[in-house]
Structure 1
Amino acid sequence: QKGDEGYSVSVPGLPGCWSQGATEDEALENIRDAIREYLAAREDLLRGTTVREVEVAG
């Protein structure tokens, strides 16, 4: 999204994951870094947790 001070971008599927840049290319490069950092942080948070599958009758 273009604004007065450059471009801002977000990833709807990753809540809170957004970035900005002076140009569209810079904003896209920055969001790629933000996505990598977001996923790495999420992986760290989930490390050591147990995931269970639960079947729900409908």
Structure 2
Amino acid sequence: MKTRSFTVVVYREDDMYVAECPEVGTVDQGETIEQAIANLQEATRLYLEEFSLPETTPRYVTTIEVNYA
């Protein structure tokens, strides 16, 4: 069994949290951030059992501040 790390982006949409894995393209949701991430982890695992991905390097995720009018 392989183990890889993936990026997770979480945001709130209406009354649910949505979690996305940009490297794989999987998306899931949950009532809490933790539940959304756990659901995404399971969805991503199931996806990877069916489809393989090329090896990639880890992504660096940060934030930026932008001044605008």
Tell me if TM exceeds 0.5.
Answer: yes
Number of equivalenced pairs: 42
Output the aligned Cα RMSD.
1.1
Q: Pick the structure with more strand per residue.
A: 2
SS where residue 39 of structure 1 aligns? helix
| Sequence identity percentage | 29
Q: Pick the structure with more helix per residue.
A: 1
> Hey, what does 1:32 align to over in structure 2?
41
> Hey, what does 1:13 align to over in structure 2?
23
> Hey, what does 1:2 align to over in structure 2?
12
| Structure 2 portions without partners, runs of 5+ | 1-10, 53-69
**TM-score (structure 2 length as normaliser):** 0.56
| Structure 1 segments of 4+ aligned residues over 3 angstroms from their partners | none
**TM-score (structure 1 length as normaliser):** 0.65
| Structure 1 portions without partners, runs of 5+ | 44-58
